[in-house]
Structure 1
Amino acid sequence: MPVGALAVALMPGGHALVRTRRRPCAPLFAFVLLLAALLAGGCATPSARLLAQPSAGLPSRVELADTPFFPDDSHFCGPAALATSLSAAGLPTRPADLVDHVFLPGREGSLQIEMLAGARRSGAVATLIPGTLEALLREVAAGHPVIVLQNLGLSWAPSWHYAVAVGYDLDAGEILLRSGPMKRQVLGLRTFEHTWKRSAHWAFVTLPPGRLPLSVTEADASDALIAFERSAPPRSAALAYRSGLQRWPHSYALEMGLGNALHAAGDLPGAEAAFGRAADTHDQAAAHNNRARVLLELGRPAQARQAAERGLAVAGPLRATLLDTLRAIDTAMPAH
């Protein structure tokens, strides 16, 4: 069994976030935001708590003024927001370059899964961030524009819209957005929070391989990097996995992903080392098997047999796979 095929089969994929929505990016800003403001009034919201007691280390005011702007007053807010984020990350992109990939004419908008996939096809690691206002503001403070999904209408009459958070002012209680036709939309944090809540606080950051959002969890980073690997050049995927391992050095999924990417790039010693670390740290059958396969490719059948036998001892449902690997090793070993 090829090394890559086994590792991919054992790793979780990205989030399946397809949701049906009606007419995203409808330009009904003034009316729906007034409704949102009225509905948000009087509630003890996370924004109210954050404004009352700002988190340590969070600057009171940030604006990423150099963030590109692609005005849109149609249904193309998805491509416009994604082009904004990609260009800010050093991957110059125009909305027109993305329309065919992320815009669904039948739905007159872009679904979340297409937005994430479109970013990855453009060479970026697209990573979901925690759905909290503090995480969003910390990303902006770190210099990362954040793509957010809002419902500018009501739960029973949705008007879905993608915007890009590029700044905030805690003293004024405001957030700054690249939003539709507005280069610098100033929105009250409580009103923004209400429109964002209806998407389950969905937000993501795009960055070049080698960088990750400040607030990302290990699980979301693993999902993002595994999904990135599927469409990225192997060396870019390896760079991305290494950035994850710098933050979570004992991650089994990331170490296996690094081995996968290095194997695909033709770096057999590097792949063997990565699978070896995963095997020694986690004692998982897949890691032992992949290490054995790479050792066999390196012309080291005796060491490959040792690795495969260690895997067979913990094989569980991979017993047949390990037995196949042992047969391949026996075939390759010289007769005595």
Structure 2
Amino acid sequence: MVKTIYNFNAGPSALPKPVLEKAQKEFLNFKDSGMSLMEMSHRSKVYEDVHNEAQSLLKELMGIPEDYRILFLQGGASLQFSMIPMNFLSSGQRANYVLTGAWSEKALKEATFIGETTVAASSKGSNYTFIPEASTWSLQPNDAYIHITSNNTIFGTQFQGFPDSLKSPLIADMSSDILSREINIENFSMIYAGAQKNLGPSGVTVAIIKEDLLSDKKENIPTMLNYHTHLEANSLFNTPPTYSIYMLRNVLEWLKHSGGVSEIEQRNHEKAASIYEAIDQSNGFYTGHAERNSRSNMNITFNLATEELNKKFLALAKERGFVGLNGHRSVGGCRASIYNAVPLEACLALCDLMKEFQKKN
């Protein structure tokens, strides 16, 4: 008998069970071809259909307008940290970053190798416990773009809304909360996301870019790092991560059949609320890292009173089948990553465990 596992890994993370079952069923013989999709040419009609279906589903689920383009890239969000300034930061301009955690720091660092940068706002002084209000950002007319990280996996903070009247292009790393809630994509000139949290397995990165941001084709960029290379080839310039894109398509189908983004947003709110309630009603036994008005619905970070209690709780959780609850070393303690595929039942089981542990300790 298979032991019940509650997967709270921060990434790669839980995938929907129906998606895994579909992949298992089709693994050896895709579309009666006698082959696995992994064995097929990326130039074949069979794979091309999968590729285009994934794009179409993204457009439908996110309400992406016709003047945006979808790219499937490799290198994770980390490579985007370099590609973005290479393609969009010109001499005489500066790239402006809102620092809300480790990943925005990494994005800024890569941009400094390419051109002039600045920091619009930062919550580093508080060890990233909050998201700076847009009204406090330092912006200038020569900003090539403004870069944000919409959700911070390590610190458990998340933008609760986005500015809609910026004069410079807004670019968002949404690796850990894309498709977890409804957004107005027209507030952004670019959104990018590694797949391994809400979109599918690791290996593919989605970039959604407004055409006017791509209007200036810069020269002297290495071929594979130029967005136009992938744009002109429908992300098929070289061999893409075909199986990851297939799995991405399957996750998008699952999301559509589950009621779409509005329905998953309600589920995510319910899941997060249950765990935050367990923290807030513990009379300080559990303390959250993030300030209440910046709390993430994807990554819930919390500590117990002592490191000894943290270790004791995590040991009990592991014994009971809870996976991935260890917090990042920057914050310590515990972290429950509750992406789209994590069921409410897992969150309620965690709440029960937290209450049980508190009562006994």
When normalised by structure 2's length, the TM-score is: 0.25
Bigger strand share:
2
Per the normalisation by structure 1, the TM-score is 0.26
Structure with bigger helix share is 1
Who wins on radius of gyration, i.e. which is larger? 1
